[in-house]
Chain A
Amino acid sequence: MSVPPAPGGDRSRRGLLVFVIALVVFLAAGGGAYALTRDYRSNQMTQDCGNSYGCIPGLKVTTLVEALKDRGHTCEEKSSSWHCDMVIGHVYFDLWLQTSGGYIYSVSVRLHRMDDKALTGTGLSYLSWFAALPFRDDPVLTKEIEGWIAQQLENNKDTKATIGDYEYVLQRPEAESVEFTIREK
């Protein structure tokens, strides 16, 4: 005796309807979550670079070091860091880049034997360039940071500020010396 089929196609039609609804919800939820996380990620000011460090997004330390070498700076790799320096006349430009996973999580700059005239020219240019590295795609913020540094140098005081996800510390240990540090807050 043959097995009787299910009466009517009602049940299969309902099953198909449930599947279609679930598929639509799945696609909508997936698309929404993708858009949200993509937006969040693309607006992050730091990127995970291992060892719980947040690094400057996208910029590999080797790229920065090569650019500085092309500019005449002397660079040497140390343990988990790079050291670059340059002497112009009596002024010493000293740079330390702390790295993790090939990316930079801390920038420390020291300027020694720099008089006021040099500080407001080359010194300011040097400090501002490094200060803007985390926000190099934002010309407005870059300009604001440069203005902030110029103001702090003029004030001639130790200062600390939070810009985005970074902490900026500017110190004047001596009259002709400046120490400047940028690191993830």
Chain B
Amino acid sequence: MAARPGPYSPDGRFWWDGTAWQPVQPPPQPQPQPQPQPQPQYGPPGQQGFQQPGFQQQGFQVPPGYPVPPGGGMPRTPRPRSGFVLLTIGAAIAALVLGGIIGGVVGLTTTKPRGDNSVPAFAGKFPDAKAQYLPGVTVSFIVDDWMKRANKWKCVKDPKTQDLYSRAKSQMKCEPPDDRGDMHVDIEYDADDKVKVVEATCWLGVHTKACKSLAAMMADAVLAAQPKLRKQAQKWAEQNSGSERATTIGGIRLEADLNPNGMKALPAL
């Protein structure tokens, strides 16, 4: 018999010749001999007598001449494929969880809700600075043409503007030349062509001719830039000066007041 080769691979199918793994030659198959038919014996597994035909596993008994692997034990059974499957499933689950978490975090942190840092366009009627002023009305026309030139009134600038409802930067107060103090006209404005309010006040009594005339003249003056509407405004003011009615003519709101009696011109909305 040749020298015993070794060492053997764990499954006993290869042996190491010092330089490479060599397959182990299978031992010669013994000649089949007639065997007496074993009688089936029943009993608990692991005890003598528990045998069934065909139940004996191949490879558990070393045939004669078959090399014994190092360690003296019997060759191991091949590793079951289920190990590989379990490993694959485990790796896939781990990759699924990890990928999901990373992808989700990246998606949440790199994406912003829809909506950029810009405001939508303003609609045409959205309140704007231009709407604060009486259309076509200028301080110079009201003060110079109507108050001073036509009626000889005195106009002085009032520095007290902080309490004005209109928030105008400047205010002009005009009074008749005789210092009676029974009527006055106030003009609130930001610039000559940016007049916010013109208000005529009369203390001579509701329905008096003087108060009606003042209201009518004021309505006529604020609509001077719209000649076709002057007469309409003048007429309405005269008729309604002794009331608390309001109307809009040419983009200008005319408001009559009783206490004190007067007429106010405001930009209309």
Contacts and interface: CB of A to CB of B under 8 A. Distances in A.
Partners in one complex: yes
A129 B123 contact: yes
B129 to A, nearest CB: 2
A37 B103 contact: yes
Interface in B69-87: 84, 87
A88 B131 contact: yes
Contacts of B248: 117
Interface stretch (A57-65, A155-163, A167-175): A57-65
A7 to B, nearest CB: 5
Given A32-B100, A37-B107, A126 B127 contact: yes
Interface string B81-119: 000100110011011111111111111101111111111
A67 B129 CA distance: 12
A121 B102 CA distance: 52
Given A87-B132, A122-B125, A26 B95 contact: yes
Contact of A42 (B84, B114, B166): B114
B186 interface: no
Contact of B96 (A4, A29, A90, A117): A29
Given A26-B99, A28-B99, A87-B167, A122 B113 contact: no
Contact of B107 (A17, A33, A122): A33
A29 B103 contact: yes
Nearest to A23: B95
Given A7-B9, A34-B106, A129-B122, A121 B269 contact: yes
A25 B96 contact: yes
Interface in A32-82: 32-38, 40-47, 56-60, 63-64, 67, 71-74
A87 B165 contact: yes
A92 to B, nearest CB: 8
B249 interface: no
B95 A129 contact: no
B120 A133 contact: yes
B104 A34 contact: yes
Nearest to B81: A14
B128 interface: yes
A137 B115 contact: yes
A89 B115 CA distance: 35
B88 A18 contact: yes
Contact of B117 (A35, A63, A90, A121): A63
A117 B246 CA distance: 12
Nearest to B17: A4
Contacts of A58: 112-117
Contacts of B110: 38
B267 interface: yes
A64 B116 CA distance: 12
A93 B108 CA distance: 39
20 contacts: A14-B84, A19-B91, A21-B88, A26-B95, A30-B102, A30-B103, A34-B104, A37-B105, A37-B108, A38-B110, A44-B113, A44-B114, A45-B113, A59-B117, A60-B117, A64-B119, A71-B126, A72-B128, A121-B125, A129-B120
Interface of A: 1, 4, 7, 14, 17-19, 21-23, 25-38, 40-47, 56-60, 63-64, 67, 71-74, 86-91, 93, 114-115, 117-118, 121-126, 128-129, 132-133, 136-137, 142
Interface of B: 7, 9, 14, 16, 18, 21, 84, 87-88, 91-92, 94-108, 110-120, 122-132, 165-167, 246, 248, 253, 255, 266-269
What 8 A-B pairs have minimum CB-CB distances, sorted nearest first? Answer: A72-B129, A37-B107, A29-B99, A33-B103, A58-B115, A30-B103, A89-B266, A57-B115
